[in-house]
Structure 1
Amino acid sequence: MKLNIDTLNNNKDFFKKANIKIPKYNIEKIIENTNKNPTWIHFGAGNIFRGFIAAASDRLLNDNIIDTGIIAVDTHAAGRDDDYDMINKVYKPFDNLTLLASIKSNGDIDKKVIGSIAKIIHADFINNYEALKKIFISSSLQVVSFTITEKGYSIKDLNGNYNNIVKEDINNEPKKAKNIMSIAAAMLLERYKNGAFPIAMLSIDNCSNNGDKLKSSIVEIAKEWVKKGFSDDGFIEYLEDSKKVSFPLSMIDKITPRPSEIISKKLECIGLEGMSVFKIGNNNMAAFVNAEAAEYLVIEDLFPNGRPYFEKAGIYIADRTTVENSEKMKVTTCLNPLHTALAIFGCLLNYNFIYEEMRNHTLKKLVEIIGYDEGMKVAVNPKILNPKDFIKEVIEERLVNPYIPDSPKRIATDTSQKIPIRYGETLKSYAKNGLDTSSLIGIPLTIAAWIRYLMGIDDNGNPMEISPDPMLEELQKHIKNIKFKEPKNLGNNLKPILSNKTIFAVDLYDEKINLGSKIENYFSEMISKENAVKECLEKYIK
């Protein structure tokens, strides 16, 4: 059986026997409604979107709470060899349907077809400017959401200069924009010129103050265009009026790893065709999404043109402070710091999966120390979620789930962008509250291990591939002269890294933090010989 609309309509018995839930609504009618009156468009057509955001819309459609679907925007850079591969390989062959496999900790798999993606468009202004414009100038449009990863909001390099694509964008007319932030700004300019209808620009990415980052980038680009005469000051007033254009904060949490070959084979065994895993660039993709069952999304209630009844899809709607506290609880204490620690040590110690690491007593103890001991002392309680219950579920149910094949290598991507929030904010809270940082072990060990990881040598002394990171080249400049098995020749190589507030949110040598030397010592031990990372862990984590 192929996964497409025709099969859904004419072979319902197959899906019932295979225990696969299918949409209760008429997909063709939803597509028609969406084309007439679009309400929701989403930038970033990857797995977290398909497995969580589109699934939330699917729930609302099944319950007759909404009657329009989501329009997805593929944000792969136009001009690359694989720029349309997401559309041509993941969406079109399956009529924009997704098979969501939600995997419980006991191994049970809930299988569901998601039919809420009414259309997909590439964020390529050369071919699709008018199509995107038509959607954005619709008065019915309520929500523009994003899952483009944290680096998607960055428009400048480390020196504060516009990156090359943005530099080109701000010097050209908006219709020629290529960067995602520029594209979003250009579409808002069209909305402004064609009625100035209200809209919510909703970042659902896993980063701190995501809505503020989205707003900052869009407004900055817009101001450059106003300077060059591509628009008037009224456009900036429109963007900065929250009753017209809002940028709600959100906190999202759902582990959505790369598609698993195991799940692929299970789906094909029950008779579904085309469920194989394939590559798009460096990413594994498939017609299905495998994800953990646990999921959390908290959104600030700031929607000037109305919104879907998100609460009916299990989404928390709250005030700004509650969203900030929920995000801070997760990102600085209850999940993300633990994930990053496992990612770094997992790569160094050659683990393939996170759940395998959790079977190692020392690594499990490490994340317990970072979470329960070091982070919980300054954890924020958002009230709608209980930090102790949350972290208990993470450690005892989620990270140990052998059916979620998440890899250290995937999580180690862009670590330099994550560390200031995942560890720096905790260290800032220690300093602010006058807490003694000398008792910290797990956090400084992890920071030392990260720098050790940047050497590209695993604990056995073999070359190791490093996950992509926008600061990798800059960071490796400082450690290129450090030699493996020469721990006494560090010189001042680590100081530019450990004192960098951009990376850690604090100067680790600051007297209120006072961890710089401690981290240097841990690092020295970790490069002293083969298997030194393992020995160092076992020496300090007991």
Structure 2
Amino acid sequence: MALLNLQDWQRHRAEFERLGVALPSYDVNGARGAGRAQPEWIHLGAGNLFRAFHAQVADDLLASGLMARGIVAADLRSPRGVDEVWVPDGDDVLVVTMRPDGSQGLRVLGSVADALFANPARPSDWSRMRSYFESPELKLVTVTITEKGYATCGAEGKPLPDAADDMAGGPGAPKSAMGIVASLLHTRYEAGAAPIALVATDNFSQNGRRFRESVLTIARAWEAAGLVDEEFAAYAADESRVSFPWSMIDRIVPNPSPEVAEELAKRGFEGMGPREGLHLASFANTEEARYLVVEDSFPNGRPPLERAGVTMTDREHAERADTMKVTACLNPLHTALALFGCLLGYTRIWQEMGDGDLVALVRRLGYVEDLPVVVSPEVIDPHAFLDELLERRLPNRSLPDAPQRIASDTSQKMPIRFGHTIAAYRASAALEVGELAAIPLVVAAWLRYLVGVDDGGEPMVLSPDPMLDGLTATMASVSLGCADPAALHESVAPILSNDRIFGCDLYEAGLGGRVEGLLAEMLAGPGAVRATLERMVQTWS
């Protein structure tokens, strides 16, 4: 038989099943028609996490007869994902689950009813999205646009250019993600102000609070300028009508791997690989484990998400689950592996989990330094979560996740992933900041990473970071062989004392000098990063 395209599955079910692909068991065309006619669930940010997680939750509900309408997926910033992936693939997705034993689970999802570019730059799609928001039957909007997508202001507290234009221009032609959401909410308000839940499912703490504040910032600017009805901001701020549930989400979804595309080609598929210049393919590769904990605040009702593995709880426990993950039991370990992985020449996280020194580092970080300050979310056992991460998830040799990907935006992650634990130690009567050893080592590794030279002495490409230019300029005088403590202090002090980066001044916290010492040790010459890591691990034995 000829090579198969993803959208061939409905015409060639037997052939797909022969290849081991699980296919939708429900009436996909009917679900899509119902979803396009009157959606109850819209997702903004139709990237890999959505494709491998939210779309699968919806598919599970459709397969169980617990939901009848497909969901609408939209991109906000670029039409390329819609034009080059969603439309050619007929809105289908192939999820490739990478199991620790090396096997793969293949599953076609048919849960997306419509994919569009929800931006005024494409009037036809924008008009369609506005019509969806006018419907009182729309219940929830989930969002994955990365933490940066929720920003309305920069580090200096001034509005970002697109957000500033949106605040001045009103809801007619927004540019920023938050301006687009506020504009669509205004459309809903004008159509009768039906209730709705706007659910941030991006990976950062108190995401619902941040989402609400950003939308209200724009709504209130419009109200102050007389650009909208004065009751609109009150509607957006009324959580009995417009809720912003808090959530914790966790599923490792690397960018589509060329190796996975090659394996699919060997099975008989064509055209599945990553599109040039995009981190999207016809498939999404992911792990088995998945967690989504959501505050159960949905003023217009919701699908039975708990029947598809979503944990529904109150705000306190959703926040505890997120805090457990992002400050202790996953994200700090990921950052530690990312920084050392880049410095030591690793290109996959699973490779690092075969390195005894790095395993000792993340075990020390997770079990010894982070767990003592975790408040249990009760809906998840923190120790069991950490066990699963270290024993099954991170060592998964099938999962093509790269330290270089995780090293992106490290400056934005430091206050949550490490500053939170430092603050908890400082506030505790039972714990001493001086007991922390892994955290200052990781901070020192970050500074060593910013030098832009790996442990072999070779130039290293640094991952994107909104503060990268300023940080590298501050570190410009630091190089391998830097032996003058005073000169080193002068270079790194502006970073280590910056409470916006760490949530505190690390010198006042009693850690700045220790970080400087570890950095100096790592700068001694080629191989010094490994030598410092080995020495520290020996002290923990």
TM-score (norm 1): 0.96
| Alignment of 1:438 onto 2:439 | no
**Matched position secondary structure for 1:285:** coil
Letter in 2 for 1:495: A
- Tell me the residue number matched to 1:499: 497
Corresponding residue of 2:9 = 8
Question: In the alignment, does 2:77 pair up with 1:60?
Answer: no
Measure, in 1, the Cα distance between the counterparts of 2:334 and 2:10: 42
* SS of structure 1 residue aligned to 2:188: helix
- 2:405 is the alignment partner of 1:407: no
Q: SS where residue 111 of structure 1 aligns?
A: strand
1:314 paired residue among 290, 309, 333: 309
Q: Is 2:522 the counterpart of 1:526?
A: yes
Aligned residue identity for 1:522: L
- Contact 2:489/2:516, CA 8 A, preserved across alignment: no
Asked whether the 8 Å contact 2:330–2:386 carries over to 1, the reply is yes
Aligned residue runs from structure 1 range 208-247, under 5 A: 208-247=205-244
Q: What is residue 455 of structure 1 aligned with on the other side? A: 451
Mapping 1:23-422, distance limit 5 Å: 23-76=24-77, 83-127=78-122, 128-280=125-277, 283-422=278-417
Quote the offset at 1:4 in angstroms.
4.7
Q: Contact 1:42/1:144 (CA < 8 Å) preserved in 2?
A: yes
2-structure distance, mates of 1:12, 1:132: 32
Do residues 483 (structure 1) and 479 (structure 2) align?
yes
Deviation at residue 75 of structure 1 after TM alignment: 2.4
1:337 counterpart SS class: helix
1:211-267 deviation per Cα after TM superposition (whole angstroms, max 9, x unaligned): 111111110011111111111331111111111000000000000011122221222
- Give ranges in structure 2 of 5+ residues lacking alignment: none
Give the Cα separation in 1 of the matches to 2:157 and 2:483: 34
Once the two structures are TM-superposed, the CA of residue 119 in structure 1 deviates from its matched residue by: 0.7
Q: Which moved more, 1:313-322 or 1:496-505?
A: 496-505
- Partners in 2 of 1:4 and 1:495 — Cα distance? 54
Post-superposition shift, 1:10?
Answer: 2.3
Distance of 2:275 and 2:179 partners within structure 1 = 30
Partner SS, residue 451 of structure 1 = helix
Contact 1:198 1:245 in 2 (8 A): yes
What's the counterpart of residue 79 of structure 1?
Answer: none
1:278 deviation in Å? 3.1
Counterparts of 1:517 and 1:116 in 2: how far apart (Å)?
Answer: 54
> 1: CA distance between counterparts of 2:196 and 2:445?
44
Q: Distance in 1 between matches of 2:284 and 2:39?
A: 25
8 Å CA contact 2:337, 2:349 repeated in 1: yes
Matched to 2:466, the amino acid is P
- For these two proteins, the number of residue pairs brought into alignment is 531
Task: Judge conservation of contact 2:36–2:72 (CA < 8 Å) in 1.
Answer: no
8 Å Cα contact 1:74/1:123 also seen in 2: yes
Q: Matched residue of 1:508: which SS?
A: coil
What is the rounded CA distance, in whole Å, between the counterparts of 2:137 and 2:85 in structure 1?
A: 28
For 2:447 and 2:418, locate their aligned partners in 1 and report how far apart those are by CA, in whole Å.
14
**Aligned Cα RMSD in Å?**
1.2
> Which amino acid is 2:182 matched to?
A
- Indicate yes or no: 2:35 matched with 1:18: no
CA distance in 2, matches of 1:30, 1:2: 24
User: How far did 1:102 drift?
Assistant: 0.8
Deviations 1:340-391 (A, max 9, x none): 0000000111101001111110001000000010001111211111111110
Q: CA deviation at 1:497?
A: 1.0
Q: Give CA deviations for 1:261-312 in whole Å, capped at 9, x if unaligned.
A: 22212222222221223333xx432100110000000000000000110011
Partner AA of 1:200 in structure 2: A
Alpha-carbon separation, structure 2, partners of 1:213 and 1:476: 29
TM-score norm. by structure 2 comes to: 0.96
Q: Distance in 1 between matches of 2:17 and 2:526?
A: 54
- Partners of 2:406 and 2:478 in 1: how far apart? 26
Structure 2 Cα separation of the partners of residues 84 and 231 of structure 1: 28
Whether the aligned pair in 2 keeps the contact of 1:348 and 1:457 (CA below 8 Å) is yes
**Residue in structure 2 matched with residue 80 of structure 1 by the alignment:** none
Counterpart-to-counterpart distance in 1, 2:307 and 2:267? 32
d(CA) in 1 for partners of 2:34, 2:513: 62
Match of 1:471 in 2: 467
Secondary structure at 1:490 match in 2? helix
Q: Is the 8 A contact 2:170 2:228 kept in 1?
A: no
Describe the superposition over 1:6-42 as per-residue Cα deviations: whole angstroms up to 9, x where unpaired.
Answer: x332211112211111111122211211122111111
Would you say the 8 A contact 1:3–1:97 is kept in 2?
Answer: no
CA distance in 2, matches of 1:163, 1:480: 27
- Equivalent position amino acid for 2:23 in 1: I
The code of the aligned residue for 1:499 comes to: S
Kept in 2: contact 1:129–1:175 (CA 8 A): no
Q: Secondary structure at the match of 1:231?
A: coil
SS in 2 for 1:125: coil
In structure 1, list runs of 5 or more residues that go unmatched. Answer: 77-82
Shift in Å, 1:45: 0.9
- For residues 507-531 of structure 1, the C-alpha deviation after alignment (integer angstroms, 9 at most, x for no partner) is 2112xx2101100111111112111
Give the secondary structure class of the aligned counterpart of 2:74.
strand
CA deviations on 1:189-217 (whole Å, 9 max, x unpaired) are: 11111100000000000000001111111
Q: Quote how far apart the aligned CAs of 1:84 are.
A: 2.5
Bigger Cα displacement from structure 2, 142-151 vs 170-179: 170-179
Structure 1 distance, partners of 2:165, 2:483, is 45
One-letter amino acid matched to 1:113:
V
Percent of aligned pairs with the same residue? 40
How far apart in 2 are the matches of 1:408 and 1:262? 17
Structure-1 separation of matches of 2:80 and 2:483: 46
Q: Retained in 2: the 8 A contact 1:478–1:494?
A: yes
Counterpart amino acid of residue 176 in structure 2:
N
Amino acid at match of 1:69: G
Report the Cα distance in structure 2 between the residues aligned to 1:36 and 1:90, rounded to whole angstroms: 22
